[in-house]
Amino acid sequence: MKTEYEVINSSNRGYKGVSFPDAEFEEYLRGSVKDKLNDQEINSVLLNDLATLKGDTGFKSDILLADIQSLVGSRASFRTWEIGEAFAEEVLSNEFQCRFYWNARRDSRNPNENRAGADLVGFIESQNEVYFLFGEVKTSSEDRKPPTVMKSMESQLKQLAESQEVRHNLIKYLCSKIPLSEESSFKTDFNRARRSYYKDEKMQLIGVLVRDTEVNKKDISGSYNFLDKLVKDSYGIRLIAMYVSISKQMWPTIMNTRGKQ
């Protein structure tokens, strides 16, 4: 990852544009992005359970064998905006000290459903403190700078900044997932972020724009200036543009092909 431009107003306010070499982006697509979208963690649990059933007398049905085969030979089939969201979340986790403990795809009975509330719901660590992180992700190939989707992002981040009810529902959402996770750090982060939010009114808003176009700070600078003026001082606001040179039409194909051996 390479920083292309950056404006820092404080530790939790500013905007940044970063780019990714093709090889690094392809590694994301074939690895952690595909695993997240397929929820490989749950797939592994199910595969182990079904393999055990297969070995038991009386469990030889075609349904069982078909489900095993679907887990072993699963191919990613996702829309580009879903790939963009998963990529953004993985980069935030790896490069920006963000933590997402719960795969939100598990909450959809229909995998094609859109999620309500916010695209990004997790935590961020900054200066030895932990805060709730709420954010939005947009993916765009539009030549226009900024792309049209930034108006929608501005509106959604504005709502997160101004609506106590929306934030409260997201906090309840996180709390409900703690008992379902095996990671003890989830509860620790939640308690630290809750203290920061209710005691000091601190949290972090993040907007991520994923682009397969030329680098241009106009993609996010205007939106940042708009949001910086309206988001209260105790809340953080950061916008990040992530640039790749591989056309988004190629992303699903790359996810389902093996890299160089």
- Contacts of residue 63, Cβ cutoff 8 Å, sequence gap at least 6: none
Mean pLDDT for back-to-back runs of 10 residues, the chain (261 residues): 97 97 97 85 58 59 56 68 96 97 75 68 96 98 97 97 95 94 94 96 97 98 97 95 97 82 44
Distance CA 261, CA 134 (A): 38
Largest distance between two CA atoms of the chain:
67
pLDDT for 144: 96
pLDDT for 50: 57
User: How do the domains of the chain map onto residue ranges?
Assistant: 2-21+80-255
pLDDT for 39: 74
- Contacts of residue 128, Cβ cutoff 8 Å, sequence gap at least 6: none
Distance CA 114, CA 257 (A): 27
CB distance 153 to 136 below 8 Å: yes
Q: In what order do the strands lie in the sheet with 203-211?
A: 2-10, 13-20, 235-244, 203-211, 129-140, 120-126, 98-99
pLDDT for 261: 44
CB distance 33 to 248 below 8 Å: no
DSSP 249: G
DSSP 213: S
CA-wise closest residue to 219 among 228, 208, 229 = 208
Query: What is the amino acid identity at position 161?
Result: A
CA-wise closest residue to 138 among 84, 204, 219, 214 = 84
What's the pLDDT tens digit per position in 196-224? 999 999 999 999 999 999 999 999 999 99
